[in-house]
Structures are given as C-alpha cells and as structure tokens.
Structure 1
Amino acid sequence: MVRASRETLMALGSYHNQAKVLVGNYLFADPFIPFTSILGGIFACKMVYDLTHMISNFYFKSYANLNKLQQVDWNNRGLSTVHAIFITYMSLYFVFWSDLFSNQLNGIITFRSSPLSTFVLGISVGYFVADLGMIFWMYPSLGGMEYVIHHSLSGIAVAYSMFSGEGQFYTYMVLISEITTPEINMRWYLDTVGLKKSIAYLFNGMVIFIIWLVARVLLFAYFFYHVYKYYNQIIQMHLFGMLLVTLVPSALALMNLIWFWKIIKGLTKAIAKSRGKTFV
C-alpha cells in the first residue's frame, strides 16, 4: 500500500516535471509565444463566456427573463469584465512594479520585452479577436462602428507590439485604461435588471466619472508627456511602430474625450433627476 502510494507520487512528480519542460520548451519558447498566447486567449474567452452563462443562469433569476440577444450581451460583458481585470492588473504590474521598464536598467525602453510581457499581450490579442468576431456576428447589437474602430485599432497596436517587441511599455500604459470596463458593464447590468433609478446606479455613474477621468484622460495626458520626453528613443522604432505609438493613442484619446463628455452629461442629468426622489 505504502509502496503503491510512493510509486503514484513518483509518477505524478514525473508528469509534473514533463509538463514544466513542455511549457518551458514550447509554450514560452520565443517562436511559439505569440501563437500559443493568442489561441490561449481565444480559448479563455470561450470558457469565460460559457461560465458566465452557466453562473448567471444559476444565480440570477432575472437572467432567465432576458431575451436571447440580451443574454448574449450579458455573457459578452462578463467576458470583457474578466479580460479588463486581468489586463489592468498585468499592465499596472509591468508599468509601475516590474523591473522590465525600470529606469534602473540600461537600454532603450521602446525595445524592452520579455516572454511574459509578450505572452500577456497575446492573451489580450486573443480577446480582441474573439470580441470583434462577436461584434460582427451580432452587429450592431453589441456595439456600433465606434466599437469596431476602437477594437480594431487596439488589436492592431497590441498585436504589433507583441510580434515585434517594440513599444510594449506604451502598449501596457494604454491598456491600463481597461480599468473602466467593469464599471461600464455594471451600468448596463443595473439598467437591464431594472435598477436604473437605484442608488447603486447613481453611485456606479460617479465611479465611472472618476475612473474615466484618471485612466482615460489624465493617464493619456501623462502618456503623451512620456512620449514627448522619450521621443529620441521612439524615432528609432520602425515607422509603423512609431505611428502606432503616436497616432493610435491620439485617436483613442479623442474617442475617450467624446465619451467623457457624454459621461459628464449623463451624470449631471442623473443627479438632477435624483434630487427630491427616494431611491429603491
């Protein structure tokens, strides 16, 4: 009995070591990282979408009352929320905590990358591919042309940074703005289940205003300041990469300002309506 247990443990240990070798030699081997990470991202999107459907159907009574299109939108927003949490955490790690882009290291910051940073970007590319596919499939129910433009620009920029290894620092800085996605999705959830007039809906709107201001307005201002400060390094990138670092964030920043103005108008309107009313 004891001998059998030891043999079982040894066998498990052997499989574990083989798995580590497989991951080290293939999954995180430089030539395979972009492809395995993109496929992994698409697979993860499918898994999260299905889990969102299963969990929502089991725990939320209002989910069963939604029509088919609303359920697809509900599941898709669950998927985008999970991606946003993941990529925001990893982006904050690489930009502020990791030594990869630290000033203590020598070398041009626009050409720094690592297997992990490349793999994480591949996961995000997989998400953009999967989400764009759903947007086109259900167009325009899951988002209009502005979402197509936003996802296309973001996906191309992230993919180039992943494949080339250029500008990953700036790519992660822009991806921090995904922190606003969970709050935007929560706004839709509250509206869909009939809580648009609740205190939670108003509070969520205030959170959206604050986080959007920080992550999509002030952060982009700092982004352009950093680009200006290290422009001598940016001009050493390939022309396409240099354009992606300058033009794509500029387009996204313009869209962010337009949406921010809409957020301000919507929040002002909601606060005005809330005066003298009792929330449910």
Structure 2
Amino acid sequence: MAMSLKTVMAIKSYQSQADALVKNYLLADHFVPFTSVLGGMLACKLVYDLTQLVSNFYFKSYLGLTKIQRVEWNNRGMSTFHAIYISIMSLYFVFWSDLFSDQRHPGLVTFQSSTLSTFILGISVGYFLADLGLIVWLYPSLGGMEYVVHHTLSGLAVAYSVFSGEGQLYTYMVLISEITTPEINMRWYLDTAGMKRSCAYLINGIVIFFAWLIARILLFGYTFYHVYLHYDQVIKMHVIGYLLVFGVPTVLGMMNLMWFAKIVKGLMKTISKR
C-alpha cells in the first residue's frame, strides 16, 4: 500500500513538472512561434507516414505506382490535411472571431494578434517549410518553379506574421485560398487512379472552378478592398510588413488568375468531350 501511494505521488509530481514545462516554456508567449513551427513540421511528417500506411492497406492503385508517384501521393495527403486545417481556422478568425474586429478592439487591426492565432499560423509555417523542402529536394518531380515561388512567398509572409504579430488578419485572408487544395489533390488522385473519364472527375472539376473563383479570385479582391479601407493602419506597419501586405497577395493573385485560366480551359475541354 505504501509503495502504491509513493507511486501515485511520484506520478503526480512528474505530471506537475510536465505541466509546468509546457506552460512556462513550450507555450510561453516568447516560445510559441518556435514551438508551433516545429510542431507543424512534426505533424507533417506524421501525416505523411500515416498516408503511406493507410494507402498501402486500402488503395490497390497505390501499390502499382512508381516510387516518385508514391511520394507525391503521400505529399498530397499531407497538403490536404494542412489545407483543411488552415482553411477552417482562417474562416473562423476572419469571419467569426472578434480578434480582428474594429468595433471590439480600440487598437489597430493590423497589429491585433493572440497566442492562439500566432500558434495556428506557426503550424502553417512548419507545413510550408516541410513541403518546400520536399519540393526542392525532388525538383521538379513534385512541381515546377511556380510551386517554389508560391511556397516561398507564402512561407515568408506567414512567418513574418508569426514572429512580428503584424498583419495576421491579411495572412488569414490569403490562407483561406487553401480551401481549393483538397479539390486539386483529388483531381490528381482520380487521374492517377485511371478515373479521368468518371463522373467524379467532372464533378470535382466543377467544384474546383467555383471554389477557385470564390477563394482565389473574389476573396483576393476583397482583401485588397479591406487594405484600401484600412490603409491608414497598414502604412503604420514596419516597412517589411507593408511590402508583404501589398506584394505577396499581388504576386499570388496573378498566379491565381493564370491557373484559373487553365482551370476554365480544362473544364471546357472536359465538358465538350462529354
């Protein structure tokens, strides 16, 4: 009984020490950016491995893929998971949270942030680092220069928001566009599985068209409009943040228009064949 009591007390002691470690170090305000970025990279590795494990057991077409196709298959599973995660959180912070509300907070909207909003963006930075590293390592098998530019700009902009606390609202606005990633990945999965002529492929193409139009064309226009309305606050940001607020959405917006033209062309070609 005495040994049992000592064991319980020892466990409670270790638990208290672990809680103190997490609270005072891992989740302390000045450690949150580093903890979240590292956590994002580890989460990507975990999802990558789980995608590989599940695909081996449940997808027959996976076994017939080449080595590089399997890497891309797993990589797209990882990007799909990140896209769902960051899209939900971005929609919450932009449209439902009071964190960036002009009415609820007297401060400048461009400088509003919280421990939670910083942590969530840090996870996204970890993803961009992991995915960019894989793209560069296997270049150009997983994507050409446009993917390198996209991930580099996105990663830099998100990282600046994480470590400076500036412009997090606009970062979340742009990250809503990740909502189109699962559909793009599904298109690749269907094509790789030999289902390019299926109804599922056509429906997915239509979903891509509308999702891209809303999240990557119209929403970007709304972002620029919001910046215009709050320009007196944007101009007070550090020069780096100021340039990122204008430069990154502009470059990504042009890339979105270029990709949208290809999406429209591909969808019209698929429909005409049917």
Q: Is the shorter-chain TM-score for this pair beyond 0.5, marking a shared fold?
A: yes
Aligned to 1:269: 269
Query: Within 1, Cα distance between the matches of 2:15 and 2:81?
Result: 28
Describe the superposition over 1:116-142 as per-residue Cα deviations: whole angstroms up to 9, x where unpaired.
111111111111111111001110010
Give the equivalent residue in structure 1 for 2:166: 166
| Cα drift, residue 99 of structure 1 | 1.7
**Structure 1 stretches (4+) deviating beyond 6 angstroms?**
6-10
Instruction: Give, in angstroms, the shift of residue 37 of structure 1.
Output: 1.1
CA RMSD of aligned residues (A): 1.7
Query: Equivalent residue of 1:143, what SS?
Result: coil
Q: Does 1:149 align with 2:154?
A: no
Asked if residue 245 in structure 1 is aligned to residue 250 in structure 2, the reply is: no
Counterpart secondary structure, 1:140: coil
Give the Cα–Cα distance (whole angstroms) in 2 for the partners of residues 268 and 195 of structure 1: 18
Distance 1:187 1:76 in 2: 14
Residue 19 of structure 2 corresponds to 20
1:10 Cα deviation after fit: 6.2
Aligned residues: 273
Find the aligned partners of 1:202 and 1:11 in 2 and give their Cα distance. Answer: 60
Distance between the aligned counterparts of 1:15 and 1:87, measured in 2? Answer: 34
Aligned-partner Cα distance in 1 for 2:65–2:217: 35
Deviation per CA, 1:210-263: give whole Å up to 9, x if none. 110110011001000000000000000011100000111011001001111111
Q: How does 1:38-53 map to 2 (within 5 A)?
A: 38-53=37-52
Deviation readout 1:84-118 (Å, 9 max, x if unpaired): 01111111111112221122211000001111111
Question: Percent of counterpart pairs with the same letter?
Answer: 69
Aligned counterpart, 2:56: 57
Deviates more, 1:6-15 or 1:60-69: 6-15
Distance 2:106 2:19 in 1: 31
Unmatched segments (≥5 aa) in structure 1 = 275-280
Are 2:228 and 1:231 equivalent residues in the alignment?
Answer: no
Output the TM-score relative to the length of structure 1.
Answer: 0.93
**Structure 1 residue 12 displacement after superposition:** 5.3
The separation in 2 between residues aligned to 1:264 and 1:11, in whole angstroms, is 64
Write out aligned runs for 1:119-268 (5 A): 119-268=119-268
